[in-house]
Structure 1
Amino acid sequence: MMDFSYRWRDPVTDDEMSDLVRSHGGQPVPGWWNSIRRYSLGWVTARDFAGTLVGFVNVAWDGGDHAFLLDTKTRGTHQRRGIATAVVSLAVTHARAAGCEWLHVDFVPGLRSFYFDACGFSPTEAGLIRLTGSGS
């Protein structure tokens, strides 16, 4: 974890985000980061000694009490080093400092241990309606 620098609202380019998504087998959408950044309370970056983006989490919010973790990512070659835990921890700190009362996160079942055990989230009841695709 000490080999990386962590920053709140560090400038990030769309090309860097695309590269990060691609690094672990994802399919980047060109222009995605540029189009959603304005809805963020902030984001946390992790960079290696060369300045390469190796970790990221976005903190969206409702402008009031609720913040939402989105798009937690770690470069494929850098996983299992505590980077994602560190970016989430810094996101929690900054959401709290901004006056948010709640920080929400949704995730696939395979990430349950990461968010509950490593990051300290608690299970809650929630509802979801799929608005697009099959079953909508």
Structure 2
Amino acid sequence: MTIRLVSRFPVDDQRLSALHARAFGADPAEVRPWAQRLERHALTWIGAFDGGDLVGFVQVCWDGGSHAFLLDTAVDPDRRRRGVGTRLVRAAADEARAAGCAWLHVDFEPHLQRFYLDGCGFRPTQAGLVRLG
């Protein structure tokens, strides 16, 4: 498996929605407007490709200043535990740093703590969350 990371690749909404459905157990028939959202809100996004197959994805949103936010880290279940996610997150951090960001934030569920803290170098912080809907 030779994985190639591509920043700001041309997004096909169906392919990215299908990857997210596989990664998160979502409805595979739902197609989201990824390309439009990314162009409007993301500092960058990175795809992991095995040949022509999209097997991983991450996006970085930001406040236009020193804070960036890691979102939607996804790796195809058949490609997990091979370093794809770690490479995606590190590439995202590099791009945020190159854009002048000083901080990269990420929220994650407890079962992903080992990945983000041990594998990707994040440190635990206190944060708050409010559900808006």
TM-score by length of 2: 0.92
- What secondary structure, in the 3-state scheme, does the structure 2 residue paired with 1:34 have? helix
The code of the aligned residue for 2:89 comes to V
1:90 maps onto 2:91 in alignment: yes
The code of the aligned residue for 1:64 comes to G
Q: Which runs of 5+ in 2 are unaligned?
A: none
1:8 maps onto 2:7 in alignment: yes
Percent of residue pairs identical: 51
Q: Which residue of 1 aligns with 2:47?
A: 45
Given that 1:92 and 1:103 are in contact with CA atoms closer than 8 Å, whether structure 2 keeps it comes out as: yes
The code of the aligned residue for 2:14 comes to D
Q: CA deviation at 1:10?
A: 1.4
Q: CA deviation at 1:84?
A: 0.4
Q: Which residue of 2 aligns with 1:27?
A: 27
The code of the aligned residue for 1:5 comes to R
The code of the aligned residue for 2:18 comes to D
The code of the aligned residue for 1:117 comes to D
Q: CA deviation at 1:111?
A: 0.3
Q: Which residue of 2 aligns with 1:63?
A: 64
Q: Which runs of 5+ in 1 are unaligned?
A: none
Between 84-93 and 24-33, report the one with greater CA deviation.
24-33
Over residues 31-69 of structure 1, what are the superposed CA-to-partner deviations in whole Å (9 max), with x where a residue is unaligned?
3313421100001110002x1100000101111111000
TM-score by length of 1: 0.90
Q: Which residue of 2 aligns with 1:112?
A: 113
